[in-house]
Chains A and B, each alone.
Chain A
Amino acid sequence: MTTRLDKRFAALKEEGRAAFVTFITGGDPDFDTSFEVLKGLPAAGADVIELGMPFTDPMADGPAIQASSQRALRNGATMKKTLELVRRFRDGDNETPIVLMGYYNPIYHMGVETFLTRACEAGVDGLIVVDLPPEEDDELCEPAMRAGLNFIRLATPTTDDRRLPAVLANTSGFVYYVSITGITGSASPEARNVADAVARIKRHTPLPVAVGFGIKTPAQAADIARTADGAVVGSAIVDAIAKELDSEGRAKPGAAERVLGFVRSLADGVHKARAAAAE
């Protein structure tokens, strides 16, 4: 089965450029602003969208994404509303892949089958669930594959060559390489180490490899885009959203537009990376 993710990565390969993958938290800071940002991401240069499912206890996330989850939850975000964001997005865009990213408990609580049905109906393409390693594949990964969704796994610097095959076995869509040992938004990766790691993963799989965790500036994004099939930026965008809040925590007028402006600058970095390298 060819999914939106497969098509998008194949098209980018044809064009000879890397994917710019953006992360925002669903419902951050509120449903309407979040939808405005989400809707504008493709035009701002996002090739793939990761949409965070807010959770009270995001164990693998740094302060920026923790805060975004809390903002969203405080303003009434729920799993249903996150799926509603996707459904509305799909009304105007049937091409840009959307990957839901988060933790297992809200999915488990809704019920795996109910969640998968609703996610497919809404137009979700893939899932990244941080606390489901391959050892727990029967929980969600296998049912998700049967439902036609891509299950994207994280590979990390601690995933050695012995472990990689198990991590890649049920992965589809793309592989997400976490470039540092640590939480989101912390230290920035060394481009050289990343290139080696990407090459190592590619020896084990034909899937595209996107790299994330710690990419904050257009220059860093461009660096990564030279060696990987995609560069993921999350905390930096979420921080840009945080800067748009007034003293009462509400989004200022024009917030979405300014956030999308920042996204555009990152996208330019990624999209021009290889052209610049070729010159």
Chain B
Amino acid sequence: MSLSKPNTLRSGPDERGRFGIFGGRFVAETLMPLVLDLDKAYAAAKADPAFQAEIDFMQRDYVGRPSPLYLAERLTEHFNGAKIYLKRDELNHTGSHKINNCLGQILLARRMGKTRIIAETGAGQHGVATATVCARFGLPCVIYMGATDIERQKPNVFRMKLLGAEVIPVTSGTGTLKDAMNEALRDWVTNVENTYYLIGTVAGPHPYPAMVRDFQSVIGSETKVQMMEREGRLPDSIVACIGGGSNAMGLFHPFLDDTSVKIYGVEAAGKGIETGEHCASLKGGTPGVLHGNRTYLLQDDDGQIKDGHSISAGLDYPGIGPEHAWLHETGRAEYVSATDKEALEAFQLCSKLEGIIPALEPAHALAFVSKIAPTLPKDHLMVMNMCGRGDKDVFSVADYLGVKL
């Protein structure tokens, strides 16, 4: 921990993997030694300059980083308020921010001598990114995906198979992301010797939330440098959508101590938080324990986990990363929400005005931007994380709009 900056918000988690009361290591005994091993291996890798150099090299030549910070002039004109910058992580290889994390974790898995990779996926973006790095490094890859999600994200399922991954449909529970995560955990418990579980967001037992955040922090670090180059100062606000919260944590973390920067996380309000059909864990949930950590969850009066609903499969998770739960309770970040309908509108607006078809996930962030940007002064600098492109969503959007392809 840094002695020069005792008041930093960036030093978490503590040695128990907690951010305040959130986080921790709530896993079965079989997994506990593995989780402790991973913690040690990651700490060692983090301290090794050769590890970071390997990541940097691959980020540049394979992923295509740094991603541009793009001034969205026509959106800015349209909203007639804040100056809107988009952090273009949708230009990354595989089309989203998910590859940042996968690259870090696959290099770690190799260092640990693991020979088999498993992962869960919702929208399929994390599955595709995992299958991609597995192909690149020649490791067998098993992806768990809810049967419901397989149906609504067919192009990504085929992509994963092309990349050589085995995609296992999960029918337990309701066949969505949380069930895929349960099934991946069951696989891990069974294949403890050789298997590395490559979690796709800032959830799971410690050290995953911190580790995934670290690998995604390249988003915020680049943004900081690029904004200084462009505007000579920090942004006034930063905005990102939240499923589990990894693209958001990646953008937010480097800015946590810059108190002049307002931070907004946008959850999926589905059909409206008041309808109960949403995925807004902070706005519509309560603290609980699931998938290895304590955080805000969608649950009923008996502590049973409820299914979320969102037009976006990538946001359809009944929890949220524990560090977000902590940032919410401390008030450092503000969590808001956008409905399916608002996201669909933003999806179309961005396509028409900027020539950028966003993924439905960041379309939620843009929906919030469209609400507050007009109320802000013209010298307000706002950065939104364009964390994924919409190719995967065009079929389901057509469906929603009643267009036959």
Q: Interface residues, chain A, CB within 8 Å of chain B?
A: 54-60, 62-63, 66, 70, 73, 78-80, 103-110, 130-133, 135-136, 153-160, 163, 167, 178, 181-183, 186
Q: For chain B, residues 268 to 293, give those with C-beta under 8 angstroms from any C-beta of chain A.
A: 286-292
Q: From residue A43, how far is it (CB to closest CB) to chain B in Å?
A: 31
A66 proximity list for chain B (CB < 8 A):
172
0/1 interface trace, chain B 2-27, chain A, CB 8 Å (1 if under): 00000000000000100000001111
* B303-A57 in contact (CB<8A): no
Give 7 CB contacts A-B under 8 Å.
Answer: A59-B189, A109-B286, A109-B303, A131-B28, A133-B29, A167-B29, A181-B191
| The 4 residue pairs across chains A and B that have the minimum distance between CB atoms | A109-B303, A106-B303, A182-B190, A156-B30
| Stretch of B178-186, B223-231, B343-351 that contacts chain A | B178-186
Report which of B182, B190, B299 forms a contact with A181, defined as CB distance below 8 A.
B190
Q: Is B304 on the interface with A (CB-CB < 8 A)?
A: yes
* B189-A60 in contact (CB<8A): yes
Report which of B179, B186, B190, B302 forms a contact with A109, defined as CB distance below 8 A.
B302
B287 proximity list for chain A (CB < 8 A):
108
B30 proximity list for chain A (CB < 8 A):
60, 154, 156-158, 178, 181-182
Most A-side CB within 10 Å, residue of B34, B182, B286, B291? B182
Residue of B whose beta carbon sits closest to that of A54? B304
B291 proximity list for chain A (CB < 8 A):
57, 59
0/1 interface trace, chain B 160-174, chain A, CB 8 Å (1 if under): 000000000000110
Q: Is B376 on the interface with A (CB-CB < 8 A)?
A: no
Report which of B25, B32, B305 forms a contact with A56, defined as CB distance below 8 A.
B305
* A105-B189 in contact (CB<8A): no
Q: Is B41 on the interface with A (CB-CB < 8 A)?
A: no
* B24-A130 in contact (CB<8A): no
Q: From residue B233, how far is it (CB to closest CB) to chain A in Å?
A: 44
* B186-A160 in contact (CB<8A): no
Q: From residue B3, how far is it (CB to closest CB) to chain A in Å?
A: 27
Q: Interface residues, chain B, CB within 8 Å of chain A?
A: 16, 24-34, 172-173, 178-179, 182, 185-186, 189-192, 286-292, 294, 297, 299, 302-305
* B33-A108 in contact (CB<8A): no
Q: From residue A201, how far is it (CB to closest CB) to chain B in Å?
A: 12
* A158 in contact with B33 given A60-B189, A105-B288 (CB within 8 Å): yes
Q: From residue B325, how far is it (CB to closest CB) to chain A in Å?
A: 14
* A73 in contact with B304 given A57-B182, A132-B26, A181-B189 (CB within 8 Å): yes
Report which of B179, B191, B303 forms a contact with A105, defined as CB distance below 8 A.
B303
* A182 in contact with B189 given A106-B302, A109-B299 (CB within 8 Å): yes
A107 proximity list for chain B (CB < 8 A):
303
Report which of A54, A57, A109, A135 forms a contact with B25, defined as CB distance below 8 A.
A135
* B173-A57 in contact (CB<8A): yes
For the complex, give the distance between the alpha carbons of A182 and B182 in Å: 13
* A183-B33 in contact (CB<8A): no
* B29-A59 in contact (CB<8A): no
Q: From residue B144, how far is it (CB to closest CB) to chain A in Å?
A: 12
* B28-A130 in contact (CB<8A): yes
B294 proximity list for chain A (CB < 8 A):
108
For the complex, give the distance between the alpha carbons of A183 and B26 in Å: 16
Residue of B whose beta carbon sits closest to that of A82? B302
Residue of B whose beta carbon sits closest to that of A130? B28
B297 proximity list for chain A (CB < 8 A):
105
* B288-A109 in contact (CB<8A): yes
For the complex, give the distance between the alpha carbons of A132 and B32 in Å: 10
For the complex, give the distance between the alpha carbons of A115 and B303 in Å: 12
* A108-B29 in contact (CB<8A): no
* B33-A105 in contact (CB<8A): no
A159 proximity list for chain B (CB < 8 A):
29, 32-33
For the complex, give the distance between the alpha carbons of A160 and B37 in Å: 13
* B29-A155 in contact (CB<8A): yes
Q: From residue A188, how far is it (CB to closest CB) to chain B in Å?
A: 14
B288 proximity list for chain A (CB < 8 A):
105, 108-109
For the complex, give the distance between the alpha carbons of A156 and B32 in Å: 10
* A133-B190 in contact (CB<8A): no
* A79 in contact with B172 given A178-B30, A183-B186 (CB within 8 Å): no
Q: From residue B18, how far is it (CB to closest CB) to chain A in Å?
A: 10
